[in-house]
């Protein structure tokens, strides 16, 4: 049994979802072979650079234009048709990669790859291969939808009506299983043990600030304002791979005299530990960051959402009362007020718990096996456990 998972480098979420699936599938069944491939890069460096660099340029430099294009492409417009035609034209290059791995099931974590796999299936090239499209945000988009796909996995059940009513997807192939995360997000360690290991005070209210994969420096402003507005808070700041931001934050910590209540971090492999010990996370609303926060039952304060999928992610969270949206001017005061309202914070935490999908990766494994004709004997697995 071979499973091929296609990720992409347009943001960190596609890659993290793919890695979480590979980890879960491999641990659950060591006899299957699971391979993760960056589909855009594998097609060709020029194509990958065009897509990835173009995406980053639009989002960082012209977010309003990106948001408008995103909405236009969510309708059956010439732009949408051009995108689908352009992506489908790369399908033969993708076929070479698929033939190399000989998968029984393909899981696509990026819509452009879905268009390519769809064309190949329509041409009869992948007769015995099942295709699963994973939507890694909390709102659907038309580019994720294509003919001949065997299953669509959604982050939330509330996304299903849009696929059915607007995109014409058959309800029987829609599975609201959730976005997969690593198991460690779903199983919290003891708060006291984590705090002792990481040099944190378990008795202090703690806020986690994350810069996100775009290295947005707005986190610097939030940190300084919040540290001044709420001197009783313990602050954890993760800058990702943004070394310049780390340096600036390091200077700011000393300037405001907050070294004894601030933990600055570069790129880390144990972000789940910091989520589990925090009372609130200040972050951009990427699909995977949201999912990981929900898995940790961690309320969110969202900043700098760009138009398009991030704004739709925020809309979902606000509607579910799992997050607040803040800006640079008043964000620190809003966060401090929320942390001083234990009833409101507890309600948000319960909503995060309600929205969490801790079994998403396991359920996707069951789906992949069932579609490929290898249904899982769940009773046998439960007895073995």
Q: Which domains does the chain have, with CATH numbers?
A: 2-182+358-384 (3.40.50.2000), 187-355 (3.40.50.2000)
Helix axes 243-255, 218-229, angle to 10 degrees: 20
Paired with 2 in beta bridges are 33
Residues of the chain with confidence (pLDDT) below 50: 215, 380, 382-385
Which residues have a Cβ under 8 Å from the Cβ of 239 and sit 6 or more positions away?
A: 211, 215, 219, 245, 246, 249, 264, 265, 266
Look at residue 212 in the predicted model and tell me its pLDDT. 61
Q: What is the predicted pLDDT for the residue at 248?
A: 87
pLDDT tens digits for range 82-126 = 999 998 899 999 999 999 999 999 999 999 999 999 999 999 999
3-state secondary structure 87-125: HHCCHHHHHHHHHHHCCCEEEECCHHHHHHHHHHHHCCC
**For 77-93, b where at least 16 C-beta lie within 10 A, e where not — what string?**
eeebeebbeebbebbee
| Nearest one of 140, 137, 132 to 113, comparing CA atoms | 132
pLDDT for 246 equals 86
Apex 234 CA angle, 233 and 240, nearest 5: 125
Q: How far apart are CA 152 and CA 154, in angstroms?
A: 6
Q: Map tokens 């971090």 to a residue.
A: 265
Is residue 148 within 8 A of residue 118, CB to CB? The reply is yes
Residue with tokens 């006291």: 192
Cβ atoms 339, 279 nearer than 8 A: yes
Beta strand 33-38 with 2-7 is parallel
Q: What is the pLDDT of residue 189?
A: 81
Specify the pLDDT at position 240: 81
CB-based burial, 237-275: b 16+ in 10 Å, e otherwise? bbbbebeebbebbeebbeeeebeebbbbbeeeeebbbbb
Say whether pTM exceeds 0.75: yes
CB 309 within 8 A of CB 70: yes
Helices (H) and strands (E) in the chain, counts: 18, 12
The encoded tokens of residue 120 equal: 């190949």
How confident is the model over 118-175, as pLDDT tens digits?
999 999 999 899 999 999 999 999 999 999 999 999 999 999 999 999 999 999 999 9
The two beta strands, 33-38 and 151-153, are: unpaired
Q: Residue 205's closest CA among 283, 272, 296, 299?
A: 299
């Amino acid at each position: 049994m071979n499973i091929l998972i296609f990720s992409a480098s347009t943001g960190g979420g596609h890659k993290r979802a793919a890695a979480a699936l590979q980890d879960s599938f491999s641990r659950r069944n060591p006899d299957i072979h699971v391979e993760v491939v960056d589909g855009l890069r594998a097609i060709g460096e020029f194509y990958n650079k065009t897509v990835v660099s173009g995406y980053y340029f639009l989002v960082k430099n012209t977010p309003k234009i990106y948001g408008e294009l995103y909405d236009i492409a969510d309708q059956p417009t010439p732009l949408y048709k051009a995108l689908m035609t352009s992506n489908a034209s790369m399908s033969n290059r993708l076929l070479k990669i698929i033939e190399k791995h000989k998968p029984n099931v393909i899981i696509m974590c990026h819509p452009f790859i879905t268009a390519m796999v769809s064309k190949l299936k329509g041409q009869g090239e992948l007769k015995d291969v099942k295709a699963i499209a994973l939507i890694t945000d909390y709102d659907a988009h038309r580019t994720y939808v294509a003919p001949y796909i065997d299953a669509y996995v959604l982050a939330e059940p509330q996304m299903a009506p849009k696929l059915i009513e607007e995109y014409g997807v058959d309800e029987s192939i829609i599975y609201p299983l959730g976005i997969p995360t690593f198991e460690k997000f779903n199983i919290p360690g003891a708060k006291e043990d984590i705090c002792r290991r990481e040099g944190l005070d378990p008795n202090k209210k703690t806020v986690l600030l994350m810069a996100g994969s775009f290295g947005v420096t707005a986190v610097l402003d939030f940190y300084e304002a919040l540290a001044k507005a709420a001197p009783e808070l313990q602050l954890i700041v993760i800058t990702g791979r943004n070394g310049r931001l780390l340096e600036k934050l390091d200077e700011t910590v000393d300037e405001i005299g907050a070294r004894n209540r601030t933990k600055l971090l570069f790129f880390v492999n144990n972000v789940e530990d910091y989520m589990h010990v925090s009372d609130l996370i200040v972050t951009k609303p990427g699909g995977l960051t949201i999912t990981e926060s929900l898995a940790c039952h961690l309320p969110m304060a969202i900043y700098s959402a760009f138009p398009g999928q991030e704004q739709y992610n925020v809309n979902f969270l606000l509607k579910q009362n799992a997050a607040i949206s803040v800006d640079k001017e008043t964000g620190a005061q809003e966060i401090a007020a929320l942390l001083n309202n234990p009833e409101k914070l507890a309600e948000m935490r319960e909503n995060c718990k309600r929205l969490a999908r801790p079994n998403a990766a396991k359920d996707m494994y069951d789906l992949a096996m069932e579609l490929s004709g290898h249904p899982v004997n769940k009773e046998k697995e439960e007895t073995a456990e």
